[in-house]
Amino acid sequence: MTGLLAFLVPLVAGWCLAAAALAGRRIDPPWAARVLEASLGAGAGVAISSIAFFVLTLIGAASPAAILAFNAALLAAGLFAFWRTRRRTLPGSAEATARPAFRWNWLLALALVAGFALVAYGLVSVSAANPFGEWDAWSIWNLRAKFLAAPGDAWRGALSALPEKAGMHPDYPLLLSGFVAMVWKAAGDTAPWVPQLTGFLFLALVLTLLASALTALRSLTSALLAGFILLSSTSFLFLATMQYADLPLSFYCLASITLLLLAEAAPKCLVLSGAFASFAAWTKNEGVAFAVFLTLAILAVERRAVRRFLAGAAPVLGLVICFKLFLAPAAEPLFKQSAAHLAHKLADPARYAQIGKALVVEAYHLGQPWSHPLLLLAILALALRFRIDPAGARAWRASAAAVALVFAAYCGVYLITPSDLAWHLQTSLPRLYGQLWPSFLLLAFLTLDVPGATAAVAASRPPRKPRERGRK
Amino acid sequence: MVAALALAGALDYSQFLSEYSRSADQFQMGAQTARFGDALAALPADGKVGYISDVPAGEVQGQAMLGAAQYALAPRVLVPLKRGGSADWAVGSFTRPNEAPGMAAESGLVIVSDYGNGVVLFRREPRR
């Protein structure tokens, strides 16, 4: 019971905080706004409680009582902020409610729910049969959570610099391990349901965030069709059973991009976008690359916006930098190679060919051949054609550039990896696709001219105030 | 058409998941971690503990056995023992338990308890 409370309270507190932070920004329709707030808030709650637990651990104050007290304070702060900002909530715009809706949306929604129920049942069966998750779950993420949840100074084992522990990647950021450890410590045991449920939580959050974001930014039909593409992305769905940090990372990247797109109409969302990018950096090293590239992309597209973005990102990015500089052992072998070795690899055409082939093979394995997500996307593109909303074009360009740069960086790492290239590609490429897949789907559907789609960013923009006459 | 294809794919995938769930725990982590239950109580609560196995850690099976032992025994930090290793306590995970006494002697360890199922607890021989 204590464990369940420690798991759920941060999600509810995050929801209240997100609802308060987004109050006053017109997001239509209202149900999509509520789902968006809940998805973003639950993800933020996981991140905040994970960070708080890590800080409590660092100062030697992480006890079940301290964890529950912090969670209670977070919930109280969330409820207070929610209550304070309720009065600023705006009604849905008439423009949005007048959007022409696709008449078969109800049937699409029914089919989508049935499809996800079917797949969710299968995924839960796999997770029940394999409660400790896949290899990296028990050798990295949950193992480090066990160290963090242990009494006394034993948490330092999660950052062990022993060469034998290099496979545990003690330099990896701690969002997932920290959240799991927080619940374990509060509960007083290390029950496998915590990482199991966390995996399914993030799958649900990706789905609800993608659906609500597309409903708000384009149309319900866009959201439903994107849901079908996600349903057919079998290698992505399987991440829920693995208990790895790739699925949470995909959520935080998607959340940051969603808020960047919403910021076209409500610039204050830039601060939240920065915060979620920093949560991505606290999740995995790839998240650090995402935060850096998104910052650069925003800088290139609209220099003034980067200040707000960085204001949101700074606190947790500061923590990540301190963690990397002062706590985590320098365990990344990528940076320990000689220049001559690197040059040799960069000049080897066979490595380019091997990576190119693996990119194609793993793209093929994203789904089943005849319901492959890229095939379904191609069908939609042919049937619907493209229409980029000029009102959201800058944020779209920055987001797309960031996703492309992160993907290019992944390919660059493969080129110079000190590990066996075939092994490295085989064990990581499907997960790297998964990290960016929801963001790619969001950006792809924003370019499709789906029935019922409107210039939603423009529609969600608050009406201009009439210029006051005689104002000094 | 897209919805129909995705639904048919979901049906097919759920059948695959149903079959896959029968062999999902390929490293038998549930059973592996349960093997070390008795050794947990006898070991110090944290700190470094030696690790010995008849399967080299360079092999996939050896890595899986070490990983399972480490997960089961955390927050103790398992350190694979080479000859002359210094940990006072060591735990062994063997596929051929009859090799335990010989390997223990080579590392200067004595057997404290054989829990069966290939799990053996060792302690360093006191120096004379």
- Of A465 and A440, the structure prediction assigns the larger pLDDT to A440
| B6 has a chain A CB within 8 A of its CB | yes
Q: Which residues of A173-186 are buried (b: 16+ CB within 10 A; e: fewer)?
A: bbbbbbbbbbbbbb
State the pLDDT at residue A268. Answer: 85
State the pLDDT at residue A399. Answer: 95
Q: Look at B12 and A129 and tell me if their CB atoms are within 8 Å.
A: no
Q: Which residues lie across from B113 on neighbouring strands?
A: B121
Answer yes or no: is pLDDT of A471 > 90. Answer: no
- Are B53 and B62 within 8 A, CB to CB? yes
Q: Look at B9 and A368 and tell me if their CB atoms are within 8 Å.
A: yes
Cβ-Cβ contacts under 8 Å, A157 against chain B? 46, 74-75, 77
Q: Please state whether beta strands B48-53 and B77-80 pair in parallel, antiparallel, or not at all (unpaired).
A: parallel
State the pLDDT at residue A459. Answer: 41
Answer yes or no: is pLDDT of A73 > 70. Answer: yes
Name the residue among A124, A445, A32 with its Cα closest to residue B2. A445
- Give CA separation, A100 vs A122, A149, A294, A454, B42, in Å: 36, 53, 34, 9, 70
Average pLDDT over residues A16-28: 87
Gap from A117 CA to chain B (nearest CA, Å): 10
Burial class (CB in 10 A: 0-12, 13-18, 19+), A152: exposed
For B:9-28, CB contacts with A below 8 A are 9-18, 20-22, 24-25, 27
State the pLDDT at residue B85. Answer: 61
| B127 has a chain A CB within 8 A of its CB | no
**What confidence category does residue A304 fall into, taking pLDDT thresholds of 50, 70 and 90?**
confident
- Give CA separation, B64 vs A134, A243, B53, B93, in Å: 11, 17, 11, 11
**What confidence category does residue B47 fall into, taking pLDDT thresholds of 50, 70 and 90?**
confident
Residue of A nearest to B61 (CA): A135
The verdict on residue B80 lying in a domain is yes
Q: What is the amino acid identity at position A221?
A: T
The tens digit of pLDDT for each residue in A236-254 reads: 999 999 999 999 999 999 9
Where in the sequence is the domain holding B59, given as residue range(s)?
28-124
Average pLDDT over residues A184-193: 95
Average pLDDT over residues A208-236: 94
Pick B25's closest partner by Cβ from A125, A129, A232: A129
| A155 has a chain B CB within 8 A of its CB | yes
State the pLDDT at residue A1. Answer: 83
Distance CA(A407)–CA(A439), nearest Å, equals 12
Q: DSSP state, B44?
A: -
For A:114-153, CB contacts with B below 8 A are 114-116, 118-119, 121-123, 125-126, 128-132, 135, 138-139, 142-143, 146-147, 150-153
The tens digit of pLDDT for each residue in A131-151 reads: 999 999 999 999 999 999 999
**What confidence category does residue A472 fall into, taking pLDDT thresholds of 50, 70 and 90?**
very low
Token reading at A194: 């915590």
The tens digit of pLDDT for each residue in A366-376 reads: 998 889 999 99
A377: Cα within 13 Å, side-chain hemisphere = 21
Pick A130's closest partner by Cβ from B3, B25, B71: B25
Answer yes or no: is pLDDT of A98 > 80. Answer: no
Gap from A289 CA to chain B (nearest CA, Å): 29
The verdict on residue B57 lying in a domain is yes
State the pLDDT at residue B80. Answer: 86
Average pLDDT over residues A420-443: 95
State the pLDDT at residue A469. Answer: 38
Place of tokens 């049969």: A129
Q: What is the 3-state secondary structure (H, E, C) of chain A?
A: CHHHHHHHHHHHHHHHHHHHHHCCCCCCCHHHHHHHHHHHHHHHHHHHHHHHHHHHHHCCCCCHHHHHHHHHHHHHHHHHHHHHHHHHCCCCCHHHHCCCCCCCHHHHHHHHHHHHHHHHHHHHHHHHHCCCCCHHHHHHHHHHHHHHHCCHHHHHHHHCCCHHHHHHCCCCCCHHHHHHHHHHHHHCCCCCHHHHHHHHHHHHHHHHHHHHHHHHHCCHHHHHHHHHHHHCCHHHHHHHHHCCCHHHHHHHHHHHHHHHHHCCCCCCHHHHHHHHHHHHHCCCHHHHHHHHHHHHHHHHHCCCHHHHHHHHHHHHHHHHHHHHHHHCCCCCHHHHCCHHHHHHHHCCHHHHHHHHHHHHHHHHCCCCHHHCHHHHHHHHHHHHCECCCHHHHHHHHHHHHHHHHHHHHHHHHHHHCCCCHHHHHHHHHHHHHHHHHHHHHHHHHCCECCCCCCCHHHHHCCCCCCCCCCCC
Q: Look at B6 and A376 and tell me if their CB atoms are within 8 Å.
A: yes
Mutation site, B1, B12, B14, interface A, largest A CB count within 10 A: B14
Task: Provide the phi-psi class of A102: left if phi over 0, else alpha when psi is between -120 and 50, else beta.
Answer: beta
Q: Look at A129 and B22 and tell me if their CB atoms are within 8 Å.
A: yes
H or E segment and range at residue B55 = none
- Between the two ends of chain A, the Cα-to-Cα distance in Å is 60
CB pairs < 8 Å spanning A and B: 130
Average pLDDT over residues A74-88: 88
Give the distance, in angstroms, between the CA of residue A179 and the centroid of all CA atoms in the same chain. 15
**What confidence category does residue A208 fall into, taking pLDDT thresholds of 50, 70 and 90?**
very high
State the pLDDT at residue A453. Answer: 59
| A233 has a chain B CB within 8 A of its CB | no
- Are A365 and A425 within 8 A, CB to CB? no
State the pLDDT at residue A89. Answer: 57
Pick A125's closest partner by Cβ from B7, B17, B33: B17
Pick A146's closest partner by Cβ from B1, B18, B75: B75
The verdict on residue B5 lying in a domain is no
- Give CA separation, B51 vs A257, B38, B61, B63, in Å: 46, 16, 15, 12
Token reading at B100: 């335990």
The tens digit of pLDDT for each residue in A271-300 reads: 999 999 999 999 999 999 999 999 999 999
State the pLDDT at residue A455. Answer: 46
The tens digit of pLDDT for each residue in B87-105 reads: 889 999 999 988 888 888 8
**What confidence category does residue A86 fall into, taking pLDDT thresholds of 50, 70 and 90?**
confident
Name the residue among B51, B100, B56 with its Cα closest to residue B77. B51
| A156 has a chain B CB within 8 A of its CB | no
Q: What is the amino acid identity at position B25?
A: D
Answer yes or no: is pLDDT of A462 > 60. Answer: no
State the pLDDT at residue A468. Answer: 38
Other residues' Cβ atoms within 10 Å of the Cβ of residue B111: 15
Whether residue B44 is preceded by a cis peptide bond, meaning omega within 30 degrees of 0, is no
The verdict on residue B13 lying in a domain is no
| B110 has a chain A CB within 8 A of its CB | no
**What confidence category does residue A465 fall into, taking pLDDT thresholds of 50, 70 and 90?**
very low
Percent with pLDDT over 90 in chain A: 69
Q: Look at B6 and A115 and tell me if their CB atoms are within 8 Å.
A: yes
Number of helical H runs and strand E runs in chain B: 5, 5
A98-112, A225-239, A353-367: least confident range: A98-112
State the pLDDT at residue A456. Answer: 45
Q: What are the helix (H) ranges across chain B?
A: 2-20, 29-35, 37-42, 60-73, 100-106
Q: How many domains does chain B contain in total? A: 1
Average pLDDT over residues A419-425: 92
The verdict on residue B3 lying in a domain is no
State the pLDDT at residue A458. Answer: 42
Name the residue among A45, A404, A457 with its Cα closest to residue A252. A45
State the pLDDT at residue A44. Answer: 97
Residue of B nearest to A118 (CA): B14
Average pLDDT over residues A1-10: 93
State the pLDDT at residue B23. Answer: 82
A287: Cα within 13 Å, side-chain hemisphere = 33
Gap from B40 CA to chain A (nearest CA, Å): 14
Domain extents in chain A: 2-88+112-460
Residue of B nearest to A108 (CA): B3
| A108 has a chain B CB within 8 A of its CB | yes
Average pLDDT over residues A86-101: 57
Q: Look at A167 and B79 and tell me if their CB atoms are within 8 Å.
A: no
Whether residue A29 is preceded by a cis peptide bond, meaning omega within 30 degrees of 0, is yes
Mean of all residue pLDDT scores within chain A: 89
Planar angle of CA A133, A440, A23, nearest 5 degrees: 90
B119: Cα within 13 Å, side-chain hemisphere = 21
Mean of all residue pLDDT scores within chain B: 87
Distance CA(B111)–CA(A185), nearest Å, equals 34
